[in-house]
Amino acid sequence: MRLLLATDAWHPQVNGVVRSIERMAEAAVGLGVEPLMLTPADFASLPMPGYSEIRLSLVTRHRVLSRWKALAPTHVHIATEGPIGHAVRAACLSLGHAFTTSYHTRFPEYLAARAPVPEAWSYAWLRRFHAAARYSGKRV
């Protein structure tokens, strides 16, 4: 099994999200799964306004699809809801490929504290993002 782990949070960031994804990849290897990482290192990026340690990737579904052909994943997990997460989600939906997601950060509260965006709007957006995830039914 080849597991594509798509994340907008990766090195050189040091935080709980990055550590969780590192542990997931390590555990996957122990289960005989080959983790394939898709991170901001794979694309041009810009610093996030107000939080320059986080890089926002300049990625599109088409760029993900070209990488997809080279990586040939059998399973996909989207760990973050940033530009990479959205591009991989769009690629999966266009291919009819199942994917799973995870939720790591209280982003609506973070955003509401820094911009005039009601938490309810962000939570609705997150529900829509994660609602498309589905288990493929294939066992490891």
Q: Is residue 114 part of a domain?
A: yes
Tell me the average pLDDT across 87-108: 93
Instruction: Name the residue range of residue 82's domain.
Output: 2-131
Q: Is residue 136 part of a domain?
A: no
Look at 20 and 52; give whichever has higher pLDDT.
20
pLDDT band at 137 (very low <50, low <70, confident <90, very high): low
Q: Is residue 123 part of a domain?
A: yes
Q: Is residue 137 part of a domain?
A: no
Q: Is residue 29 part of a domain?
A: yes
3-state SS, residue 44: coil
Tell me the average pLDDT across 48-67: 88
How many domains is the chain built from?
1
Would you say residue 26 has pLDDT above 80? yes
Q: Is residue 138 part of a domain?
A: no
First to last CA, the chain: 7
Q: Is residue 140 part of a domain?
A: no
CA–CA separation, 31 and 96 (whole Å): 26
Q: What is the pLDDT of residue 53?
A: 80
Among 11-15, 29-33, 117-121, 128-132, the minimum mean pLDDT is found in: 11-15
Residues in a beta bridge with 76? 4
CATH number at residue 64: 3.40.50.2300
